Structure 1
Amino acid sequence: MNDKVLIVEDEAVLSMQIKYELLQMGYSVTGISDTGEKALASIAIEMPDIVLMDITLKGKLNGIETADLIHKQHNIPIIYMTAHSEKGIIEMAKLTSPYGYLLKPVNIKELQITLDVTLYKSKIDKEKTELTGRLLSMTHQQHIILDNASIGISLIRERKFIWLNSKLAEIFGFTREDLEGQNTRILYPSQEAYEEFGKEAYCKLAKGVVCSEEIEMVRRDGSKLWCKYSGKAINSSDLSIGSIWIIEDITYRKQIEEELKRKNEQLEQINKELKEAALKEYRQRLEKEEMLVQQSKMAAMGEMIRAIAHQWKQPLNILGLIVQEIRDSYEYGELDKTQIDTTVNESLKQIHFMSNTIEDFQNFMKPDKEKQLFSVQKAVGEMFSLLSAQMKVNNISYSFTCHIHNKTFPETEECDQECEQCVISSNKNEFKQVILNLLTNSKDAILDRREKGLMKKTDEGNIMIDLYDDYDKIIIEQSDNGGGIPQEHILKVFDTYFTTKGTGKGSGIGLYMSKVIIEQHMGGSIHASNGEYGAVFTVKLPKRYF
């Protein structure tokens, strides 16, 4: 019959993976429990041989408390699975006498070795417990039990065997008659070992304490074995009465310990290799992510420079006309103080507009490292403001609808306002980079649709952003009429370097970095789908406050 394993784990994917691997190893899985209460109920129905226990569980009982109950009620071997390695947690877990620990994610080789080791240790512990219990439960048949015990028992006086049971004689390859009256020196490999053990044993016996040692001894045929030697004086004030000694052959246990030592060394080597591999992979991922971040920043900077070019085009034309008008007025003698004042005011207005554009660009590119409270509505409005000229020249309209207040803002000046009900705590510029990527993708999709003749050049493009308050989350939904994403590509749009744009029109890192920012940096989620007229991107962000 296959050894039975109960999995106690509240992560469904991980528990199913472990179950699959256990079945492949030849184990029988009695069930999967995601709480301590369910685990205790499952054990009551079908008793497993081993329990794989997650330390952190749902429900009233955590893994350590559940393991403690299992240990007290059923004495089933426990192997902990944990993502934690803090000393405090390990110390608490030790109190439940576990047979091993597995760090998540669970390595299959480590799992198999730990299970093998646990079965070895469990087998030995069960045998020892059974033998001890049997000895204690039949004390009323002392002579029969002692003579037929599975461990050696003897009465020794002045280092001679006065009485011994059959098992002790059997352990060393003698008969009882051979050893009775003999000096115990016959069982030691050397005179030195005999003298050393005798001196130490005498001191302990005289103090009335148990003398317990694991020593190497010899059989009648000269072969060596390991024994656990435990003795106590019948009367410590008079050692001449004698002492009782229990001798257990632990040769098999020593072999198991050597095997355990070897497997532990294998585990240590595997852990070392895994750590090195994980560290190498982590460094490579960091380098790759850093490269992608830089590429994403350069792409965002390119978009912003194009936005500035569009924003500046009109005020530069106006300034040019103002300069020409000054020259013409001077030539015709019409230049007076009133005209100069008007010209200066109009010029300063245009310069102020251009200066504000540059300031917005600088704020966007500023590398904010600390989280801050900011209004999602205002951040979106600022991005619309930066891109407004570019949208206008491409005949693309935009609107922002706040469903919290049931109001639509068609103009930048209106939606570029603070809103206390849509404030989150995060990195504002990273969020604005995500909005820039989404708006740019929508703009490019609309222009691409026009180029392919799927949309008249005179048809107006539309980009809509809807804002919702969902209890503990802010939901931002952006849609357009750019035709949508091909169904076969919709699951790949967030992959690194994947793009549906033509050669030279897209790097394929904008949406990837948007996903990294939203999910890893801001703890939210981003999802792509298709609506009636085009693509729909849904961003969900938690409301996190200082």
Structure 2
Amino acid sequence: MNANNSKHIKILIVEDEAILAKSLEDSLISMGYTVSGIADSGIKAIMLFFSTEPDLILMDIRIKGAKDGIEVADNIRQQKSVPIVFLTANQDPATFERAKIEGAFGYVLKPYQERELQIVIEIALNQFEMRKKNFEMELSLLNAEKLGTIGTLSAGIIHDINAPLSNIYASLDLIYKNLKDSDLINDPKFTKSLNKIEKGAQAIKSTVQNYRGMIDKNENEESIMINIKNILKDAFEVCSYLTSEKKIKFIELSSSPDSYVYFGKVSLFQVLVNLIRNACDAIENLPDAWIKITWEDINEKFLKILIVDSGSGIPENIREKIFDTLFTTKKPGKGTGLGLSLSKIILEKFGGKIELDAECPNTCFVLTLPKEKIN
């Protein structure tokens, strides 16, 4: 690792001997690293780790407090993966074995040699980066396998859904034709119910098309100019039976009501319906349940939509998994684990993206959508 790269690496020192800690700090700075902090106990080490987010920890095994360095390392790594190099004057095989079991990326004996320390740090950082890349590659392969399985299952499911869906559309056509000679055409409740049936059928059709799109990448919907307010209204109407049944309030706010984006209309509609349904399921048992949707221009090229519900947010330990294919926290029969992963695929396909706003006190998903056609 050259000096230019090491300048961006932050290292946390956990050492209860002040003189040695200062010596380590001087050595690391001379190597070009940044020292993010020095802790002399396990509690301080954990606090500094989460406040400074170092890229590596130099951890003395014998430190102040009820827990030794190996136990503190275990506590930290249960929360977040980070390379840890252990420091010790103890050459006891049992201690070395404990450090190895904990997954130590390096082991330096005191008194240390500066060159030896630098080599161990560089190897630890490189090993961690390689493990991270391997993990990401394995995750990609796993998701590819999952999508392949979904494709096989979906081919049969799509066929089974299309038959009754065709009957629904045929029945709707027949009803509309007969309405011309009926007084029901003037009944707003009846016509509103028919509109809901038609939009519900369109939602099912769009879901089928999107699942098919995961199987057949050549079937692409074209981007067109879409009025955000109008498509949100359509999506919410389809989900209105959920909000009324579960007594969920819907709040819509915007500083620019006539905002437009370029996107596949059916695809964007399906994404919005997925997110609204997810929100309804998540907050259905809350005494004050609400969903708030706002949108605003980011710049000349992009617009963002915020879909916020009254929930208390996504637990930190599953935030990185929520967009994984087949991952769900819902009870069996309530969710497939496809909604968010499919929404992510759809948005990226049209040049957009979806993110979780972890800073929001409630559950908030942010959609970024293009305002111009993207090839």
User: Normalization by structure 2: what TM-score?
Assistant: 0.47
Compare CA radii of gyration and give the structure with the larger one. Answer: 1
Q: Larger RCO: Structure 1 or Structure 2 (Cα < 8 Å, ≥ 6 residues apart)?
A: 2
User: Normalization by structure 1: what TM-score?
Assistant: 0.33
